[in-house]
Chain A
Amino acid sequence: GAGVSQTPSNKVTEKGKYVELRCDPISGHTALYWYRQSLGQGPEFLIYFQGTGAADDSGLPNDRFFAVRPEGSVSTLKIQRTERGDSAVYLCASSKAPTGELFFGEGSRLTVL
């Protein structure tokens, strides 16, 4: 596709449930990033992949959060035992190289009831 694609665009779940959010980056982009944006705030870095490996996961808030990118393209962010405080918009971005110009998707809005 032409841009970064994220699915689902909206996800409503109950506290304690497991959630997966998917990101399909721009073809050929080797770097992939996940950010989280709470209401009224700027995005906060979660994790960065270069190829298949997580080069920097220092932004993951705790061990309930995990992300994979097994073939160096599509990535999945996984959240276990969701809490109400996990409610946010999860943004994915990709770039050709770690150059700083990121191309963002429209995000997946997660609501934990």
Chain B
Amino acid sequence: GNSVTQMEGPVTLSEEAFLTINCTYTATGYPSLFWYVQYPGEGLQLLLKATKADDKGSNKGFEATYRKETTSFHLEKGSVQVSDSAVYFCALSLGGGTSYGKLTFGQGTILTVHP
């Protein structure tokens, strides 16, 4: 079956530190990959996505590259801010027609950034 595995959390960093949150996946086909973020008191929202191998998704200083050879989609940011404190979810979709929004999520990684 399809699955997503994220690095164990929680992750605690100081402001301006470098962030990596690891994500690997197992899929029967060629998935699209996503990072969703949930800020305190808000609903999940799309952070970035990549739809094919070697694509790089980027948004708000965050980046992730779709690596087919390692089945990974690690999230990185060069300098985190306190406002980046949130729960981050890696997800995949096998896409194609009506199943594109049927996502398989990882378990989430809690990020806390201290001033």
A: residues with CB less than 8 A from B are: 3-4, 31, 33, 35, 40-45, 48, 50, 55-56, 59, 91, 93, 95, 98-107
Contacts and interface: CB of A to CB of B under 8 A. Distances in A.
A2 B87 CA distance: 23
19 contacts: A3-B43, A4-B43, A40-B108, A42-B89, A42-B107, A42-B108, A44-B105, A91-B43, A93-B101, A100-B49, A100-B95, A101-B49, A102-B44, A102-B101, A104-B36, A104-B43, A104-B44, A106-B43, A107-B43
A55 B98 contact: yes
A49 B103 CA distance: 14
B4 A42 contact: yes
A56 B43 contact: no
Contacts of B98: 48, 50, 55-56, 98
Contacts of B44: 43, 91, 93, 102, 104
Contact residues on B (Cβ < 8 Å of other chain), bracket: 20 to 34
Contacts, number: 72
A41 B9 CA distance: 12
Interface string B87-109: 00101010101111111111110
A71 B95 CA distance: 26
Given A100-B34, A105-B43, A56 B4 contact: no
Given A103-B45, A104-B44, A106-B43, A45 B95 contact: no
A98 B99 contact: yes
Contact of B101 (A31, A42, A105, A107): A31
Contacts of B100: 98-100
Nearest to B89: A42
